[in-house]
Each structure stands twice: as structure tokens, then as C-alpha cells.
Chain A
Amino acid sequence: MKKFLILSVIILGTWMSVGVGAAETVDRSMCVFDPSGAHGDVFKAAQRYQAQALTWGIRLDLKAYTDEVVANSDFKAGKCNMAFLTSLRVRSYVHESGSIEAIGALPSYDLLRKTIEALSNPKVRELNTDGDYETMAMFPGGAVYLLLRDKNLKDIKDLAGRKIATLTYDQAATTMVDIVGASMVPAEIATFAGIFNNGRADACYSPAIGIKPLELMKGISPNGGIVRFPIGQLTFQIVARHKDFAEGFGNTSRAWAATQFDAMLSLTKKAEQEIPAKFWIEVPKDLQKNYFEKFREVRIRLRDKKVYHPTILKLMKRVRCSADKEAAECADNLE
């Protein structure tokens, strides 16, 4: 009887420890948008996140989507607990973190890194939460550049009256087109390259990583180029309903994601290096000011329209001014 009792205790103990172990890991799902599907780099990044999340007690089931609209609507419908989307989409859930892509706000990767690191600080968790939603991670997706069929248009003023292939749902771009006095050629991700390459638009915009796959060189050659002045920083973000995750999960997740900055950027940097030097259009300092001023005008206008969150614009201005204290904007209080 005593032996039986001991055996029962051992079995019960073993069962309990297994039970407790299993209870420590919870199952969650993530909708992942990657234009190349499960073979793409974003999906690979999601898999790294999946492995890391296991160490935090979350077993993530990943689902790849090649159409961001579908990924977004599935997340909205509650079909997954979190979603890996572009910041443009995340903005509709978390206004603050989605504003990091604001036009011309972060002209270098160092500034983007600083902003992402600052936003991963646990002290500013509220800048990552909005209602039921929380941004759990931010990754760089590459700077977006202006591509021109004619390199003589290198001053932003020269774009007046020109046609620019513009994503219709991209409010920043449509406002920009409006401000510079250009005209918009409505485009989708699937169509803008063709429009630019066929000459139906004088300019378009793209991150370097899209240039080769979309054959944008055809549009640039022989007389055009790529303006080396980032219009904005594309970012990928993971957004979630925070009630589905333990308290503090967001802070842990964001802190880890900030350490992945270089790994996420390596392909972008390679793509930028592969662009032949002759295609880069260097913008002289005085013309850079023109770009900067126009971009700022757009940011302020979009902030007033409640597209960009004022606090994030303020943070990004501080980041810029910490790198260049002498800049004219640091003396005023517009952003």
C-alpha cells in the first residue's frame, strides 16, 4: 500500500510537472504580410520572432499572406492574435507607432534606429498602445527613394507639373503630390512599376529592395536616376490585441525587436550598394533644404489632419536635433 502510495505520488508529481510545463506555453497566431509569401524575408523575420517568442512562453502559429489587405482584414476579424504589417496599416490600430514612417522625418538609418530604440523603452509603453491594440515590434524595411526618368528634375521644385505614380491609399504621397504641384497617376503596388517604366509617369517612389525585382532600372535608364534623399522610412511592425498577451510582453518583445535592426536592414543595405553609382543623384546641401522644407510642410499638414501623431513627430524632431543641434528647425516649435 505504501509502495502504491509512493508510486501514485511520483506519477501525480510527474503529471503535474508536465501539466505545469505545458501551461507555461500558450498558443497564439500571427498573420504575416510578405509580398513573396512564406519564402520572403519578412516571413523569415517572423520565423525568427516565432523562435524568440517560444522563449517567452508563446507558441506562434504563422500564416503567410501575399496581399496586405487580406492579412489586415483577417487580423481585424480576429482570425489571428497578432499581425506583421507595414506601418501604413498599423497606423489605423496604433496611431503613434504608425506615424514613424512620416514623410522625410528620418533621413538616415541611424536616426531611425535611435527612434525605434527610444520607442522600445518600457517608460513609453503608452506610445505603443492605442485602445485594444499594441505595437509589439518595429523593424526597418528600408528608405523610400524618389526615382526619376529625367535626372535634371533633382530639385523638388522641378516636380511641379510632372506626373508621379502614386499609391492611392498613401495619404502622405497624395498630399506631397498636391504640395509640390505635381499631378498624380493613380497606382497600386502591382502597377506602379509598369506605369513608371512605360513613361506614363515622370517619377515614382520605392525602397531600394524593390528596384531590381520590379525592373525599375528600365524607367531610370538612360537619363534618370534615384534621388539620394529618403522620402520616408518603410517599417514593418507587429501589432496585437494586448489582452491576448501577458502584461509586460510588449516591453520584452519591443526590446528584443530593437536588437534585430541590423539583421533586418542587411538586405536593404546590399540592395542599395548594388545600385550603380551613376544612378544615384546626390542632392546638393541647398537643394536638400528645399526637400526638407516641403516634407516638413506635408508632415505638419498631415498632423493637423490627424494622420500623423503629434507626439511621434515631436520625438523624431528631437532625434534629428540630437544629431544636428545647429539645424534651423531646432530653434522653432512647429513639430
Chain B
Amino acid sequence: MNKRILFFVTIVTITLANCSIVYRVTGKTLNSYAQDHLVPHYLASDDLDAICTGGTALGPLVASFERTGASVELATMVAQMGAGMCAERQAQEAELLYIAAVRKGKGEEALDNQARQIRYHGIAAKRYGDAHSRFLQYFGEWNGKCPSISEDEELYYLVGLSSGLLAILHDFASQGYAGITRDVPSVVAGGSKCLDSKKWWGAPLALEAVVWLSVPGATPEGKDANKQMEEAVKQGDQAGVRLARAFQIQAAAGKGDVEKIKKLILEHSKVLSQIPAKKEYRFLEAFAENLSRHESDKIWMKETGHRGPIYFSSFPGKKKNNKEEDDLLKDL
């Protein structure tokens, strides 16, 4: 009888041990598959909806492999970044409906959409915040010194920093609902120095500048955030990855300078038709375009009650050069 029990216990133990090994191996495989194939595939796609839905759906599955002891930080980080984008898009939609309701003078509708907007900003902040935590888990807490980053890891480092910035911006917009720690901006600004800005299409310079522009008193003496942003944008334009433009517009939107926002949006639209996007990073291009389109739609919605052109190439009531036109039409 004892022998039988011993046999049974042995079988169960072996099976359990095997399962845990299988799970861990699967987790590792999944992680390296995500790094080698899934993320590059994501980045080359300009379908924001597919990526955000994919991130939301697959994120928990990928993250669950952590329980088996597998290291899945990078794969989870990217999935959570995509999931954050879903909430961000819903916040944008609610914001447009809020503006439309204000225009129509519908108070209840406006308040409800504003409430929705705040909630979605909160969800976006949590998801981006989670992505940023995975980044810290993988690369280590920021201690003022750059960690050793292999060439393959540089892109993930940039994604991690970006998610931190987005987390804090959305947390501000959600009235602090997600509780993102307020030292994230200094991590983003410090960490951005660990990457070669030219190699990464100006994004590191832009990240640092946007922190300076968003956090009062963060700009070091002798530095000009706007100038640095311009430089970053130039690098991004040349590379065909306009992520820096997205950050520039975010910073301008934060300041509420409508004329500047309009100017930046029109510049973005123009450059898109002049310099083709880099195929491997079309996702980041689509992300940046979406931000410009949203800022353009906000202006259109406020001024006309509807969204603007898909290529965000014009604004209502643009003032023309009347003097020049008068000359052209004289005595006709």
C-alpha cells in the first residue's frame, strides 16, 4: 500500500515539475519570440487599432508567464504600451464629444463626456505606467548612471522611456487617478541621455525637451527646451520617423498655444508628403500622425462642430494675404 502511495506521489511530483519546466520554457520562448518577431512586426504596422487591441488582449497572457519564473518584462512592456494606446484613443474620442457638447450648449452631455475622458486618461496612465515599471524592472531603477544597454535593447529602452512620459502626461490629465510617481519625469529626462539621439530619430532629445517644457523649473540653466525640440524634430523628419513631432505637439498642447499648435500640425502634414516614412517604424509614424490629427480635430470641432481633414492639412477661417490678392484682382 505504502509503495503505491509512494509511486503516486512520485508521478505527481514529476508531472508537476515537468509542467513548471514546460511553462518556464514556454515563457522564455514567448519572450524571445516577442523580441525577435512580434515587436518588429508591430512596429512595421501602421494599424494602431490592431496593435492596441492586440496589446490589451495579449498583455495579461504574456505577463502571466512571470509566475512561472520566466523573464517577460520586455514583451509585457510592449503589450502594455499598446494597451495604453487603446485607452488613449478612447480618451481622445470622449474629448471630441465633450467639445462638441460644449459648442452645442449641452451641459449634461459635456459633463458626461468629460468624466469619460478623465477615466480613460486614468486607464491610459495605468497601462503606460505599468509599461514603464517593466522597463525599470528590466534595466534597473534609475540611479543617475546609464545601464549597459546592448544594441538590440536600445529600442526597448526608448519605448520604456516614452511610456514613462506618456504615463505622467495621462496621469496629469486624469487628476492623478493612476498615481504615477512624480519622479518619472526626471528618470525620462536622465535616461534619454543614454541613447544616441540621431540614431533614434531625435526621440531622446525630444523626450528630454518635453519634460523640460512640462515640468516647471526642470529646464537646466543655459538650455533652451524649444530649440532642443526643433533639433529633435529635424532629426526625426530626416529619418522618416516623426515621433519627436508627436512629443513636440504634446508639449505645445500642454501650453494651450493654439496658434503654435496649428503651425506645428501644418508643418507635420507637409513633411509627411515630402519625406516618406521609414517602413520598419510605421507604427510610431501612425502614433505621431494620430496625435496631430487629434489636435487638429479638437480645433475643428471647437470652431465648426465637426472634425477636420484626415491629412490635417488646413484649419477653418485661415486668413489669406488680402493685399496680395487685391493686387491680383485689380481692374479685372
Contacts and interface: CB of A to CB of B under 8 A. Distances in A.
A binds B: yes
B327 A322 contact: yes
B5 interface: no
A315 B313 contact: no
Given A259-B318, A314-B332, A315-B329, A322 B313 contact: no
Interface in A276-335: 311, 314-315, 318-319, 322
A118 B273 contact: no
A276 B324 CA distance: 37
Interface of B: 269, 273, 276, 309-311, 313-314, 316, 318, 320, 324-325, 327-329, 332
Contact of A319 (B273, B309, B311, B328): B328
Interface residues of A, number: 21
Interface of A: 114, 117-118, 121, 123-124, 127, 259-263, 266, 269, 273, 311, 314-315, 318-319, 322
A311 B325 CA distance: 15
Chain A facing B: main interface SS: helix
B311 A118 contact: no
Given A117-B325, A314-B332, A318-B328, 9 more contacts: A123-B329, A127-B332, A259-B314, A261-B314, A262-B313, A266-B273, A311-B332, A315-B328, A322-B328
A124 B329 contact: yes
Contact of B311 (A117, A263, A318, A322): A263
B328 A118 contact: yes
A311 B332 CA distance: 6
B329 A262 contact: no
A315 B324 CA distance: 12
A266 B313 CA distance: 10
Contacts of A123: 329
Contacts of B318: 259
Contacts of B320: 117
B311 A262 contact: yes
A101 B332 CA distance: 18
Contacts of A121: 325, 329
B316 to A, nearest CB: 7
B309 A262 contact: yes
Contacts of A311: 332
9 contacts: A118-B328, A121-B329, A124-B329, A127-B332, A262-B309, A266-B311, A273-B276, A318-B327, A319-B328
A99 B58 CA distance: 59
A117 B269 CA distance: 20
